[in-house]
Amino acid sequence: MSGYVDEVVIPYDRDLGPVLFEHYGADTARRVAEQSPKDVLEIAAGTGIVTRHLRDLLAKETRLTAVDISDSMMDVARQKFHPGEQVTFQNADATALPFDDEAFDAVVCQFGIMFFDRDKGFREVYRTLKPGGRYLFRVWDSERYNPFASLSFEVLKQYFPSDTPQFLFDPVSCHQIDPLKEQLIQIGFDPVVISVQRHEYDILDVTAFARALVYTPVIFEIRDKGGVDPEDIVTELAEAFKKELGSNPMRYPMQAILFETEKPDTR
């Protein structure tokens, strides 16, 4: 497991985290903290990037629980906190949360819902939210607005034209707003507020960013297919990024969709 952490999880946190997740994570934490919740749950917390922002902005007495299905991700997340900080980490399935009904004032999920059954996940959030509790989650917009998906797929297709690895397309698979909105409304969430948020980040080390994308779980698809050195893909992907977006620094654009909703308080 240490090899997986060193090869996949640490580059994900170190080289993708600042580009893709920090800005949106800080915005999420600010939106949650301004409502002064007492109990907060973060789902699919990964390596704790949003968790760290939440803990920095929430009141000291606020209880913060962070869950993820990956022990490896959680191990990296724990290292970002001191023993005395009010954070509980727990391995948990987003579609079967191990918490009581109406346990939380706020639930957060950043770029996670595309990796599990959304209907079950939404229903679990609704169940564990207190009446009047808030649910914030983000999804990536389509590959048209997110080059980490579109350019990666173009490069991978050069090496695997007939059976191109798909993992990096999973993150941009939930960009259609209406189906998500309808699911939320059917479950009982109301109101549902949706906003599209564009951001740019200056990337100085384009190769490190490209390598971290290749060494996501897509690396296992590449190795299973065989016949290609992953470092060749890294080099080609870095060049594709530079050609499309420039370098020194590369102005990297991204676009995400934020859903903010509530469990109505009918008492």
Output the pLDDT for position 266. Answer: 84
Report pLDDT digits (tens) over 122-131. 999 999 999 9
- Mean pLDDT for the stretch of residues 220-242: 94
Distance between CA atoms of 252 and 15, rounded to whole angstroms? 13
Answer whether residue 78 is part of any domain: yes
In percent, the amount of the chain with pLDDT more than 70 equals 99
CA 173 → CA 163, 216, 227, 232, distances in Å? 18, 17, 28, 27
Omega before residue 253 within 30° of 0, cis: no
- Helices assigned H by DSSP within 160-249: 177-187, 206-214, 218-225, 230-245
Residue 95 pLDDT greater than 80, yes or no:
yes
Chain position carrying tokens 């090899």: 3
Residue 235 in domain: no
How much of the chain is helix, strand and coil, in % rounded to 5? Answer: 50, 20, 30
| pTM: predicted TM-score of the whole model, two decimal places | 0.95
Mean pLDDT of the 79-90 span: 94
User: Does some domain include residue 213?
Assistant: no
Angle 88-3-66 from CA coordinates, rounded to 5°: 15
- CATH number assigned to the domain comprising residue 193: 3.40.50.150
- Does any domain span residue 162? no
Sign of CA dihedral 143, 147, 153, 154: positive
177, part of any domain:
yes
- Residue 89 pLDDT exceeds 90: yes
Residue in the structure block whose two tokens are 């060193």: 6
What's the pLDDT at 163?
87
pLDDT band for position 104 (50/70/90)? Answer: very high
Asked if 76 contacts 52 with a C-beta cutoff of 8 angstroms, the reply is no
Collapsing DSSP to helix, strand or coil, 21 comes out as: helix
Residue 262, beta-bridge partner list: 134
Say what the pLDDT of residue 3 is.
Answer: 63
Whether a cis peptide bond, with omega within 30° of 0, leads into 171 is no
In angstroms, the CA 67 to CA 197 distance is: 25
Cα torsion 70, 160, 205, 213 to 10°: value is -10
Q: Mean of the pLDDT values across residues 85-113?
A: 97
The answer to which of 11-15, 163-167, 234-238 has the lowest mean pLDDT is 163-167
Higher per-residue pLDDT: 8 or 4: 8
Residue 237 has pLDDT above 80, yes or no: yes
pLDDT at 1 over 70: no
Q: How confident is the model at residue 249 (pLDDT cuts 50, 70, 90)?
A: very high
**Dist. CA 4–CA 23, nearest whole Å:** 26
Is residue 88 included in any domain, yes or no?
A: yes
Domain assignment present for residue 155? The answer is no
* Per-residue pLDDT reduced to its tens digit, 137-189: 999 999 999 999 999 999 999 999 988 988 888 899 999 999 999 999 999 99
Cα atoms found within 13 Å of the Cα of residue 221, Cβ hemisphere only = 19
Report the chain's mean pLDDT, rounded to a whole number.
95
Domain of 188 in residue numbering reads as 2-142+172-202+254-262
Number of domains in the chain: 1
User: Around Cβ 44, how many Cβ atoms within 10 Å?
Assistant: 24
Please tell me the predicted confidence (pLDDT) of residue 2.
54
Residue 89 lies in a domain: yes
Q: Which of 20-24, 32-36, 225-229 has the lowest mean pLDDT?
A: 225-229
